[in-house]
C-alpha cells in the first residue's frame, strides 16, 4: 500500500493541502486552466482568481494532440498554442503565478512535450518555475521508470490516472507509482462538463483506489457545478474535486469566475 511521504518538500506541500481540506470537512478544490488561455496576461489574472479559493491549482500545458481532452480544453489549447504558449512559456507563466501564491501548482502534460525538452531538463525547468508536481495522463507508469526516477530526484510529485475501466490490479500498479495524489477519471471518455448522473461510477472507483493507497484521491472529468462537486465529494467520498472545462466555458462567456468557484467550493463540503 502506498503511504504519504512526510518529508518537507513539494510533495509534502500537496499532501498538506489535502490534509487541510480534510480537517475542514471538505474535499480539496482543484481548478484547472490551460496555460496561456485566453492569452498570457489574462491567464495569470484568471488563475489568480481561481487560486483565491483553490487548495491547489492544475495548469494545463497546451499540446497539439490532446487525446484525453474534450472540445472545450482542445479549443483552449489550440488558442494558447496560436498565441505562442510553448512548454517553456508555460513554465514562465507558472513562475509568474508562483510570485503570488504558496499554494501547490501542478502541471498537467502529455508525455511528448516532456520528451521534446528532455525529461531531465524538463524536471529542472519545472522546479525552477516553482512547480510542485506533474500529472501525466498518457504515460503508463510501469512503462517509463526513468521519468519516475527523475521526478523523485527533483522532488516533484507524480500523479497518474485511473478510470472506471481500470482493473483492481491496474489500480494497484498505478496508485503505487503516484507520489502526489491519484487522479480518478469519473467516466470513460474525455474531459468536459456532463450531467451529474454520468458520475455514477465514481463511488466504486474511489473505493477501489482507497483499498490500494493512502494517498488522496481526486476526481476529475465531468464536474461543472456545486451539485456535481457534491456527488464527487460526498457521495463518492473523494478527497479532491477537479474542475476545468466549466471554468474555460465561463471565461468564454464572460461569467463570474469567482462566483462559480465559490459555488463549487460549497459543493465540496462534506457536512
- Point out the residues that are catalytic: 58, 69
- Three cell numbers at 144? 517509463
Contact between 177 and 141 (Cβ < 8 Å):
yes
Residue 98 three-state SS: helix
Query: Torsions phi, psi of 262, nearest 5?
Result: -65, -40
Q: Which of 142, 253, 248, 164 is nearest to 209 (CA)?
A: 164
CA distance 214 to 67: 29
CA-nearest of 246, 257, 241, 247 to 22 is 241
**Which residue is listed with cell 513539494?**
10
Kindly state the DSSP code that residue 118 receives in the 8-state scheme.
-
Amino acid at each position: 500500500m502506498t503511504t504519504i511521504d512526510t518529508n518537507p518538500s513539494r510533495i509534502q506541500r500537496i499532501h498538506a493541502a489535502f490534509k487541510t481540506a480534510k480537517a475542514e470537512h471538505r474535499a480539496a478544490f482543484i481548478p484547472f486552466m490551460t496555460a496561456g488561455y485566453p492569452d498570457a496576461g489574462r491567464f495569470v489574472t484568471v488563475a489568480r482568481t481561481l487560486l483565491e479559493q483553490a487548495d491547489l491549482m492544475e495548469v494545463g500545458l497546451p499540446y497539439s494532440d490532446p487525446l484525453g481532452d474534450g472540445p472545450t480544453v482542445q479549443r483552449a489549447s489550440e488558442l494558447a498554442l496560436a498565441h505562442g504558449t510553448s512548454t517553456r512559456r508555460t513554465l514562465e507563466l507558472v513562475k509568474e503565478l508562483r510570485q503570488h501564491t504558496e499554494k501547490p501548482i501542478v502541471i498537467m502534460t502529455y508525455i511528448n512535450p516532456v520528451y521534446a525538452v528532455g525529461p531531465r531538463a524538463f524536471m529542472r525547468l519545472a522546479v525552477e518555475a516553482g512547480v510542485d508536481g506533474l500529472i501525466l495522463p498518457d504515460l503508463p507508469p510501469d512503462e517509463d521508470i526513468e521519468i519516475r526516477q527523475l521526478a523523485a530526484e527533483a522532488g516533484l510529485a507524480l500523479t497518474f490516472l485511473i478510470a472506471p475501466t481500470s482493473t483492481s490490479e491496474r489500480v494497484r500498479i498505478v496508485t503505487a507509482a503516484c507520489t502526489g495524489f491519484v487522479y480518478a477519471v469519473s467516466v470513460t471518455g474525455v474531459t468536459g462538463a456532463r450531467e451529474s448522473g454520468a458520475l455514477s461510477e465514481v463511488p466504486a472507483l474511489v473505493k477501489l483506489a482507497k483499498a490500494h493507497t493512502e494517498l488522496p484521491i481526486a476526481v476529475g472529468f465531468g464536474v461543472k457545478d456545486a451539485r456535481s462537486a457534491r456527488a464527487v465529494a460526498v457521495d463518492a467520498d473523494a478527497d479532491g474535486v477537479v474542475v476545468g472545462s466549466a471554468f474555460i466555458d465561463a471565461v468564454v462567456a464572460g461569467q463570474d469566475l469567482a462566483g462559480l468557484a465559490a459555488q463549487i467550493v460549497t459543493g465540496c463540503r462534506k457536512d
